[in-house]
Structure 1
Amino acid sequence: MFTKLLKEQFGIEAEGTMRIGKYDACRKQGQLYLFVPAGNAPEEELEELDKIADHLVKNGDRNISTFVKTKEGKRYIDMDDRRFCILVNHHAQNRRLNKFGRKLSKFHYRGRTISFPVKKISRIGQWKQLWEQRLDQMEKVWNEMLFQKPDNDFERMFLESFPYYMGLAENSIQYLVDTELDDEPGLIDSGTVCHVRLSSTTWGDSYYMKNPFDWVFDHASRDLAEWTRERYFHNIRTYQPELRQFLSEYQSIAPLSSFSWRLLYARLLFPLHYFETIEDYYMTNSEQQKLQMQERLQKYLWQSDDHERFLGSFYEFAEVPVKRLRIPLVDWIKS
């Protein structure tokens, strides 16, 4: 179906199909075409992502997936009440995992040179509002459950643990507010192209794939914090050397300001891993997924002391000169 669609709508005769990550894909003369669901993305958002992708390519990034337009010049096709886009990678390059910090820093550098306004995918200055919204919603659910007997182990764990994580979330919001009040952003703190959630597979598994549908326009510390969070939970015993190397590589291109470090830390303080587990549990109807979320929550609660030590020692193991940069610490978190 995909090759037929490419031929009819885009005038591209491609060879056999394959799967790359979660997408259907096919090849033509060394180029990779991806068939990507666009969700409910409005046309203005697709236009913004297209312009950003073009900007990054023109500024030297060879691994960007760019939009292919239909014969009528549209960036998408609507099929069976769903919207899809075709993205192409002109240089299907095997992915190497070394020097990721440097590569990310260069990616952010290119993103900072965007001169047109980015509105649809911008999250600049929105963290506080989004975090408060999330916290309020969860507190409401918790309050409603307070006077009922928990139905199962998951509900019992949620009822017992929420006050602690609410405190952590409130601390992260306060740390963010203080940073925005007390500190001055530098040049490195301008908005750039970031990822909704940067992880070790975001840029593809076997090939480099920088997919516009993964992007938001935000402060670079968003990516640094999410990468740090993922690597910490990937292995809570041995994360330090890898993370230290990553942050050192990143700063070999662009040293972080005190404002950047503080935003990064505020984001790490926000217990996203906990919030997502609770939200996913209540959003799924699958018993198997509910069981997975229960096991995950249990694991996070067992690891909470270790997680607190990770937060308490972050500035130290990341070798941040807190005194010189006058970065405040969170007193109650044990290092």
Structure 2
Amino acid sequence: MPYRRFLSTYYGIQAEEKIHLFGREGYRKGNEIYFIMILENKETFYTEKMSLSAYLMENGYSHIAFPKVNLQGDWHTPLEGNKYIVLAVQPSYQEPLQTGIALARFHQIGSNYPYQPKEVSSYGHWRSLWIDKLTAYEMKIQQEAEKRDDEYHQLWMDVLPYIIGLSENAIQYVRQSEQEQRFSEVDQGTVAFHRYHNQLENPILWMDDFVYDHPARDIAEYLRSLLFTMEKREEAFLFLEEYQSVRQLSVFSWRLIYGRLLFPIPFYDLLYRGFQAEKTDDGTLHDELQHLLKKQTRYENVLKNFFELAGIDAEMLQIPMVQWL
């Protein structure tokens, strides 16, 4: 069924035009935009994200694309073997705050969320999740390489021991950091993003982007995106100053940030995209992997001096550094 008719039949929405925003197809009626999404996980996964989103909307983040109930009063609509939800939002084009301040305030509000999610929470589970990811992806890429003899998979077989080594070092660092006792209220779980790349500046926030985790997740992922780019390294440490002007990081937070920066998440994200692609012999993924490897070398050079660049005396605070960098 065409989406325009779907909106009209099941939601009573007469869309005025089809638009594209942030890589998603939407339908506008007046000031409101509607996005249609297929449910690909169990319902509790989405109800927890809805609860996080509703809490944020009550606390000033009104520009979240949130499920609209259909004409039957249900938040999802079954059709042709799938379940659909319609996300409704009025975009906000306010002047953004400084990046670090915006994220710190978001985390401050999120830390007061009154429930402990289960399906969408990674809080306290990084190490086990990384071990599972390493095991599953290592097996999967080896199986794929046996079936596909192209440059992309050949390069992966060459670099796989290196990625495994990086992963194991990060897992070990986080394991040791879990024993750290110097923590504070800033280490409470909060609403976070799957991969934070400054979405708080966007006119629309997406319900499916939210998770529940330690704030170090967002801090590390945004830092990684900046530290991978030579020209943005000063911006990275300015971001940390801004964040700490609102929320002072504990030693435990610093160790989690560093541990997450050590884990080669961009390589796993690329692997995941490769697994989803039907063809990988067009050279695009191969070129991306080569480019990622070049950036990783420069990135590791920054990690050698990360705490010094961040204005933290790691030796005085007895924050361990990895020896292989």
Please, what TM-score do these two structures have when normalized by structure 2? 0.88
1:315 to partner: Cα distance: 1.6
Residue number in structure 1 paired with 2:125: 126
1:120–1:309 Cα change, 3 Å: same
Residue number in structure 1 paired with 2:194: 196
- Give me the whole-angstrom Cα distance separating, in 2, the residues matched to 1:273 and 1:24: 26
1:123 to partner: Cα distance: 1.1
1:291 to partner: Cα distance: 1.3
Q: Which residue of 290, 296, 299 corresponds with 2:291?
A: 299
- Give me the whole-angstrom Cα distance separating, in 2, the residues matched to 1:307 and 1:319: 18
SS state of the match for residue 205, structure 2? Answer: coil
Residue number in structure 2 paired with 1:169: 167
Residue number in structure 1 paired with 2:53: 53
Contact 2:182/2:250 (<8 A) preserved:
no
Amino acid at match of 1:18: I
Residue number in structure 2 paired with 1:114: 113
Residue number in structure 1 paired with 2:42: 42
- Give me the whole-angstrom Cα distance separating, in 2, the residues matched to 1:155 and 1:89: 41
- Give me the whole-angstrom Cα distance separating, in 1, the residues matched to 2:213 and 2:168: 21
Contact 1:240/1:317 (<8 A) preserved:
no
- Give me the whole-angstrom Cα distance separating, in 1, the residues matched to 2:324 and 2:150: 32
Contact 1:194/1:223 (<8 A) preserved:
yes
Residue number in structure 1 paired with 2:227: 232
Residue number in structure 2 paired with 1:76: 76
Q: What is the 5 A alignment of 1:272-311? A: 272-287=265-280, 291-311=283-303
- Are 2:195 and 1:211 aligned? no
Residue number in structure 2 paired with 1:136: 135
1:214 to partner: Cα distance: 0.7
1:58 to partner: Cα distance: 1.4
- Give me the whole-angstrom Cα distance separating, in 2, the residues matched to 1:75 and 1:144: 40
Q: What is the 5 A alignment of 1:176-195? A: 176-195=174-193
1:158–1:317 Cα change, 3 Å: same
- Give me the whole-angstrom Cα distance separating, in 2, the residues matched to 1:287 and 1:143: 15
Q: Unmatched 5+ residue regions in structure 2?
A: none
1:169 to partner: Cα distance: 1.0
What is the RMSD computed on CA atoms of the aligned residues?
2.7
1:310 to partner: Cα distance: 1.8
Please, what TM-score do these two structures have when normalized by structure 1? 0.86
Contact 2:32/2:89 (<8 A) preserved:
yes
- Are 2:318 and 1:317 aligned? no
Percent identity reads 27
Q: Which residue of 152, 156, 160 corresponds with 1:158?
A: 156
Amino acid at match of 2:158: E
1:137–1:16 Cα change, 3 Å: closer
- Give me the whole-angstrom Cα distance separating, in 2, the residues matched to 1:324 and 1:68: 53
1:79–1:324 Cα change, 3 Å: farther
Amino acid at match of 1:187: E
1:41–1:157 Cα change, 3 Å: closer
- Give me the whole-angstrom Cα distance separating, in 1, the residues matched to 2:7 and 2:275: 39
Q: What is the 5 A alignment of 1:86-125? A: 86-90=86-90, 92-94=91-93, 96=95, 99-125=98-124
Contact 1:23/1:36 (<8 A) preserved:
no
1:284 to partner: Cα distance: 2.7
SS state of the match for residue 25, structure 1? Answer: strand
- Give me the whole-angstrom Cα distance separating, in 2, the residues matched to 1:28 and 1:145: 45
Contact 2:18/2:26 (<8 A) preserved:
yes
Residue number in structure 1 paired with 2:235: 242
Q: Unmatched 5+ residue regions in structure 1?
A: none
1:125 to partner: Cα distance: 1.8
- Give me the whole-angstrom Cα distance separating, in 2, the residues matched to 1:3 and 1:61: 28
CA shift digits 1:230-284 (9 cap, x unpaired): 2233x2x212121122222222221111111111111110112223334543553
CA shift digits 1:117-173 (9 cap, x unpaired): 311211112211121122223444677899x9x945434433332222222111100
SS state of the match for residue 33, structure 2? Answer: strand
SS state of the match for residue 278, structure 2? Answer: coil
